[in-house]
Amino acid sequence: MIKNKALLVLIVTLLMGCDAKNDFSSIGSNFDGDTVWTFTQFNVLEEDDVINSYYYYGEVSEELYQKISSNQLTTGFILLRNVKYWGNDNLIYEYRSKEEEGSLIFRIEDIQKMELLRIEPIAGKGQEQFEDETPAAIIEENSENSEPPSAID
C-alpha cells in the first residue's frame, strides 16, 4: 500500500513540475528507517477559498522532520504513519479508514506548525498525557473539525 502511495506521489510530482528537486527529496526522506512522533497542524485550502485547520499526531521520518524543522525543505510531500487526530471533544482518536490504513500524505507547504513529541499519543485520552507538550489552548481555539480531511487535496 505504501509503495502505491509513493508511486502516486511521484507521478503527481512529475506532472506538477514545481520545484521537482524538493519534491523528490521529500519523497525519498519519507522512507527513512528512523521515525519520530510529531504533532502537526495543517492549514488546508478547501473549496470557496476557506482554510481549515487539522491537527494530527503521527510518525514521520526523522530525516524529513529535521529537514522541515530547519527549513531545508519547504515544498513536497509528507507521509504521516499511524495517524491519530484531535477531535472536537478534546480527545485523540485513531485515524483508520478502508482506504488509508492509518497513513496520510499531505503537502509540506500546508504545515502551519510541527512539534516533536517524546511519547506516542494514546487514543481515547486527551491533553493530560503530554505534560504541556502540545498547546491545547491553540487547538481548542481553532478546532472546528471533528473528522479528518482526505489526504492530498
The three cell numbers locating residue 59 = 510518525
* Under 8 Å between Cβ of 1 and 101: yes
User: Which residues constitute the domain of residue 54?
Assistant: 2-142
Indicate the range of 12-26, 62-76, 114-128 predicted with least confidence: 12-26
* Under 8 Å between Cβ of 36 and 65: yes
pLDDT for 26 equals 52
34-64 confidence digits (pLDDT tens) = 999 999 999 999 888 899 998 999 999 999 9
- Within a domain: 61: yes
pLDDT for 86 equals 83
The partner residues of 40 in beta bridges, in order of sequence, read 56, 114
Cα dihedral 34, 78, 57, 134, rounded to 10, equals 100
The secondary structure element, H or E, covering residue 115 is: strand 111-116
78-105 confidence digits (pLDDT tens) = 999 999 998 889 899 999 876 667 889 9
What is the total count of domains within the chain? 1
- Within a domain: 149: no
- Within a domain: 148: no
Q: What is the pTM of this model?
A: 0.68
- Within a domain: 153: no
